[in-house]
A and B are shown apart, each in its own frame.
Chain A
Amino acid sequence: MSSILISCRSLLAMTLLLGVLYPLSITVLGKLVFPIKSQGSLFYTKEHIVGSELIAQKFSSKGYFWSRPSAVDYASHSAGASQKSATSSELKKIYQERVRLYGAEVPNDMIWASGSGLDPHISLESAKFQASRVAEARNMTIKELDDLIEGLAEDRFLGFMGQPRVNVLKLNRIIDNKR
Chain B
Amino acid sequence: MQTEAIFYNVFFVIVLLSLGYPLGLFIARIFEGDIPKRVSFLKPVENLIYRVSGINPQTKFSAPTYFLHLLTFNLMGLVLLILILMGQGFLPLNPQSVSGLDFPLAFNTAVSFITNTNWQAYSGEVSLSYFSQMVGLTTQNFLSASTGLAVIMVVVNGLNQKSEKIIGNFWVDMVRMNLYLLLPLACILALILIGQGVIQNFSPYIKSLTLEGIEQVIPMGPAASQIAIKQLGTNGGGFFGVNSAHPFENPTPFSNFLQMLSILLIPVAQVFAFGKLVKNERQGFSIAAAMSVIFIVLLTFSLWSEFTTIPSWAGDIPLEGKELRFGTNESVLWSVVTTAASNGSVNAMHSSLSPLSGLVALFNMMTGEVVFGGVGSGLYGMFLYVILTVFVAGLMVGRTPEYLGKRIEAYEIKLAMIGILIPSALILIGAGVASVSDWALSSLSHQGPHGLSEILYAFTSTSGNNGSAFAGFNVNTPVINIVLGLCMFISRFIVIYAVIMISGSLVAKKYTPVTAGTFPTDSYLFSILLIGVVFIVGALTFFPALTLGPIAEHFLTIYGITF
B225-A109 in contact (CB<8A): no
Q: Which of B139, B191, B197, B324 contacts A114 (CB 8 A)?
A: B324
Flag whether B21 is at the interface (Cβ < 8 A).
no
B225-A119 in contact (CB<8A): no
Complex alpha-carbon distance, A74 and B256, angstroms: 22
A162-B325 in contact (CB<8A): yes
Q: Which of A47-55, A129-137, A138-146 contacts B (4 or more CB under 8 A)?
A: A47-55
Flag whether B107 is at the interface (Cβ < 8 A).
no
A11-B73 in contact (CB<8A): yes
Q: Which of B11, B212, B556 contacts A64 (CB 8 A)?
A: B212
Residues on B with beta carbons closer than 8 Å to the beta carbon of A115: 242, 245, 321-323, 331, 346-349
B218-A51 in contact (CB<8A): yes
Q: How far is the CB of A53 from chain B (nearest CB, A)?
A: 8
Flag whether A101 is at the interface (Cβ < 8 A).
no
Q: B168-208, CB under 8 A of A: which get 1 and which 0?
A: 00010001001000010011001100111111111101111
What number of residue pairs across chains A and B have CB atoms under 8 A from each other?
346
A49-B207 in contact (CB<8A): yes
Of residues 200 through 238 on chain B, the ones whose CB sits less than 8 Å from some CB of chain A are 200-203, 205-212, 214, 216-220, 222, 224-226, 228
Q: Which of B53, B76, B199, B325 contacts A165 (CB 8 A)?
A: B325
Residues on B with beta carbons closer than 8 Å to the beta carbon of A159: 4
Q: Give the size category of B's interface with A.
A: 35 or more
Flag whether A79 is at the interface (Cβ < 8 A).
yes
Q: A30-51, CB under 8 A of B: which get 1 and which 0?
A: 1101100111111000001111
A27-B201 in contact (CB<8A): yes
Of residues 1 through 35 on chain A, the ones whose CB sits less than 8 Å from some CB of chain B are 2-11, 13-15, 17-20, 22-23, 25-27, 29-31, 33-34
Q: A73-107, CB under 8 A of B: which get 1 and which 0?
A: 01011111111111111011001100000000000
Flag whether B308 is at the interface (Cβ < 8 A).
no
Q: Which of B183, B349, B449 contacts A81 (CB 8 A)?
A: B349
The verdict on A59 contacting B212 (CB below 8 Å), with A8-B76, A157-B254 known, is: yes
- Closest B residue to A115 using CB positions: B245
Residues on A with beta carbons closer than 8 Å to the beta carbon of B8: 160-161
- Closest B residue to A104 using CB positions: B315
The verdict on A86 contacting B327 (CB below 8 Å), with A42-B206, A95-B314, A112-B320 known, is: no
Q: Give the size category of A's interface with B.
A: 35 or more
Q: 17 additional contacts, CB 8 Å, given A27-B225, A33-B191, A58-B212?
A: A13-B53, A15-B135, A22-B138, A34-B195, A37-B195, A55-B218, A57-B211, A68-B324, A81-B349, A87-B553, A87-B563, A89-B562, A119-B324, A160-B4, A162-B252, A162-B325, A162-B330
7 A-B pairs with least C-beta separation? A162-B253, A115-B245, A83-B472, A19-B139, A10-B53, A112-B319, A54-B247
The chain A residues found within 8 Å of chain B, CB to CB, are 2-11, 13-15, 17-20, 22-23, 25-27, 29-31, 33-34, 37-42, 48-61, 64, 68, 74, 76-89, 91-92, 95-96, 108-109, 112-123, 156-157, 159-163, 165, 169, 172-173, 176
The chain B residues found within 8 Å of chain A, CB to CB, are 4, 7-8, 11, 45, 49, 52-55, 68-69, 72-73, 75-77, 80, 123, 125-126, 134-136, 138-139, 142-143, 171, 175, 178, 183, 186-187, 190-191, 194-203, 205-212, 214, 216-220, 222, 224-226, 228, 240-242, 245-248, 251-254, 256-257, 309, 311, 313-327, 330-331, 346-349, 351-352, 354-355, 445-446, 448-450, 470-472, 553, 556-557, 561-563
